[in-house]
């Protein structure tokens, strides 16, 4: 299924050194307008505000996931494992390449405010009237539907799904290494080559040879550290919050039929909830940033101020809160309102928690455990063998934080309600 390229193509890549394209269909998918658009969407959203190197795109990550999947499949084929369904190669590679194609600009913030869903857009892009759809259909008329099923985890052969979404999948293996590389930190690194050597197809799953346990431990530790050091970094969260507040304010104003000086068509469709495929493809990060730039001159002071804060990185500061909500948080809100600083747009309580590895819970497909294959051909869930995995799965680290504009509140420092001066670190002011 699918013709090979006459001559192999390569992309130079800082994480995998080279990315090899051997199939005409993969090459054609990369050259579609829908895939090329991923060059204009950053992999880590607003993280570049915290780690200035984090400018890498979803294009590079998608190629990376494809390359990891290609290496896994090629290892399975070289070893002639009968449990790997060889006929699924093109389906698996196309799904790996396209798994993020539905992402829009700053997905986290936009999805929360407007309820758009990147998986839904992925299906629309794969199944709709698009260049991607035409390339897939040319290989096999059933390929678009199968790709969308693999990405939405409903495809019948679970081994193909687990290659792209499981607790040890091509997606995570690429993004941990790539995000670590581009943020410039040392945390996310682990021995990819070693993991690729010790995984096997086994009874419809991808499992790990027991001797590879330590490499997997290292990978799970990398994930744990990347979450707390990079993905949940308070400055990144702050920039996401400010961006979300901008969208919320724009949404509010639009509903009030506010007379925007500047309102580009695709953005208006987003506010109206009438996004078409073409609108969606037009909305990239440059489009959003250009809109924010124009909105710094809008007549609404809140919208203009928030856009200025986002573009010029005058973000909200944060303070850590107790783990349970307390009445003094409501007091702060009321006080802010009285001071003319609207807490709906200038205050946010954020709660974070993430598990680096989900212990298996019966019936939950999402958290399929990582299984080790021992010398007697028996499967053991990894935390039964590994004390490290056991202990990191039990960390229920969570943190509540309040975000606020310290420049606006500081002018009223002596009037802050009880306890907040100490919390904001202003006792000495």
Which of 23/100 has CB closer to Ca ion? 100
Tracing tokens 């009438």 back to the chain, one arrives at 274
Show the binding pattern over residues 44-83: x = contacts Ca ion (CB under 5 A), - = does not: ----------------------------------------
We find the least distance from the C-beta atom of residue 117 to Ca ion, in angstroms, to be: 15
- Going by C-alpha positions, the residue among 352, 353, 354 that lies closest to residue 401 is 352
> Which range touches Ca ion (CB under 5 A), out of 33-41, 76-84, 168-176, 376-384?
168-176
55 or 374: CB nearest Ca ion: 55
Q: Give the sheet arrangement for strand 348-353, strand by strand.
A: 317-320, 398-404, 348-353
Residue placing its CB nearer to Ca ion in the complex, 54 or 336: 54
CB nearer Ca ion, residue 223 or residue 401? 223
For the bound state, the minimum distance from the C-beta of residue 58 to Ca ion, rounded and expressed in Å, comes to 8
Parallel/antiparallel/unpaired status of strands 205-209 and 371-373? parallel
Work out how close the CB of 103 gets to Ca ion at its nearest, in angstroms, rounded to a whole number.
Answer: 8
Q: How far is the CB of 285 from Ca ion (least distance, A)?
A: 17
Nearer to Ca ion, 211 or 367 (CB): 367
Decide: is 240 part of the binding site for Ca ion (CB under 5 A): no
- Least distance to Ca ion, CB of residue 164, Å: 9
**146 Cβ neighbours under 8 A, 6+ residues apart:** 91, 155
Q: Which is nearer to Ca ion, 179 or 298 (CB)?
A: 179
User: In this structure, what are the phi and psi dihedrals at residue 349, rounded to the nearest 5 degrees?
Assistant: -105, 125
Question: Which residue's CB is nearer to Ca ion, number 101 or number 271?
Answer: 101
- Calculated CA dihedral for residues 102, 159, 358, 65, nearest 10 degrees: -40
Q: Which of 176, 211, 257, 249 is nearest to 375 (CA)?
A: 211
Identify which of residues 172 and 245 has a Cβ nearer to Ca ion in the complex. 172
Residue 100 contacts Ca ion per CB under 5 A: yes
**Are the CB atoms for 206 and 163 separated by under 8 Å?**
yes
Q: What element of type H or E holds 30?
A: helix 24-30
**Smallest separation, CB 400 to Ca ion (Å):** 28
Could you tell me which stretch among 107-115, 116-124, 170-178, 386-394 binds Ca ion (CB under 5 A)? 170-178
Alpha helices in 141-284 (DSSP H): 143-151, 158-164, 170-183, 192-198, 213-226, 234-255, 265-272, 277-282
Given a contact cutoff of 8 angstroms between Cβ atoms, the answer to whether 176 and 188 are in contact is yes
Taking residues 113 to 152 in sequence order and writing x for each that binds Ca ion by CB under 5 A, - otherwise, the string is ----------------------------------------
- The interface region with Ca ion, picked from 66-74, 98-106, 116-124, 131-139 by CB under 5 A, is 98-106
- Rounded Cα distance between 60 and 73, Å, is 20
* Smallest distance, Ca ion to C-beta of residue 307, A: 29
**Residue pair 184/177 in contact by the 8 Å Cβ criterion:** no
Q: To 10 degrees, what angle do helices 118-127 and 143-151 make?
A: 170
Return the residue nearest Ca ion (CB atom).
171
Helix H or strand E encompassing 110:
helix 107-114
**Site for Ca ion contains 171 (CB under 5 A):** yes
Residues making contact with Ca ion (CB under 5 A): 100, 171
């Amino acid at each position: 299924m699918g013709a090979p390229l006459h001559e192999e193509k390569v992309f130079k890549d800082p994480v995998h050194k080279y990315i090899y394209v051997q199939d005409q269909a993969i090459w054609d998918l990369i050259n579609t307008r829908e895939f090329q658009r991923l060059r204009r969407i950053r992999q880590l959203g607003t993280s570049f505000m915290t780690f200035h190197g984090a400018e890498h795109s979803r294009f590079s990550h998608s190629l990376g996931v494809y390359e990891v999947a290609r290496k896994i499949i090629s290892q399975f084929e070289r070893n002639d494992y009968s449990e790997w369904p060889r006929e699924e190669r093109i389906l698996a590679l196309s799904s790996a390449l396209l798994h993020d194609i539905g992402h829009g600009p700053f997905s986290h913030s936009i999805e929360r405010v407007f309820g758009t869903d990147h998986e839904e857009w992925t299906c629309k892009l794969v199944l709709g009237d698009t260049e991607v759809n035409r390339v897939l259909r040319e290989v096999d008329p059933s390929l678009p539907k199968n790709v969308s099923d693999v990405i939405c985890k409903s495809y019948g052969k679970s081994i193909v799904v687990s290659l792209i979404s499981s607790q040890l999948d091509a997606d995570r293996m690429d993004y941990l290494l790539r995000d670590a590389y581009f943020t410039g930190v040392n945390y996310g690194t682990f021995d990819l080559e070693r993991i690729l050597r010790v995984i096997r197809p086994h009874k419809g799953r991808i499992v790990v040879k027991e001797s590879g346990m330590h490499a997997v431990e290292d990978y799970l530790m990398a994930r744990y550290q990347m979450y707390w050091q990079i993905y949940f970094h308070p400055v990144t969260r702050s920039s996401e919050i400010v961006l979300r507040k901008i969208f919320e304010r724009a949404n509010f104003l639009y509903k009030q039929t506010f007379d925007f000086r500047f309102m580009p068509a695709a953005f208006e469709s987003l506010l109206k909830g009438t996004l078409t495929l073409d609108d969606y493809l037009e909305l990239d990060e440059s489009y959003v940033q250009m809109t924010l730039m124009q909105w710094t001159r809008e007549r609404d002071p809140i919208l203009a101020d928030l856009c200025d804060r986002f573009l010029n990185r005058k973000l909200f500061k944060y303070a850590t809160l107790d783990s349970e909500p307390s009445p003094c948080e409501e007091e702060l809100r009321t006080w802010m309102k009285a001071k003319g600083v609207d807490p709906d747009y200038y205050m946010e309580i954020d709660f974070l928690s993430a598990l680096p590895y989900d212990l298996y819970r019966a019936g939950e497909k999402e958290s399929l455990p990582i299984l080790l294959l021992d010398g007697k051909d028996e499967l053991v869930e990894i935390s039964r063998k590994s004390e490290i995995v056991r202990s990191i799965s039990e960390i229920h680290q969570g943190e509540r934080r309040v975000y606020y504009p310290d420049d606006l509140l500081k002018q009223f420092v002596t009037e802050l309600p009880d306890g907040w001066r100490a919390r904001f670190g202003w006792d000495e002011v």
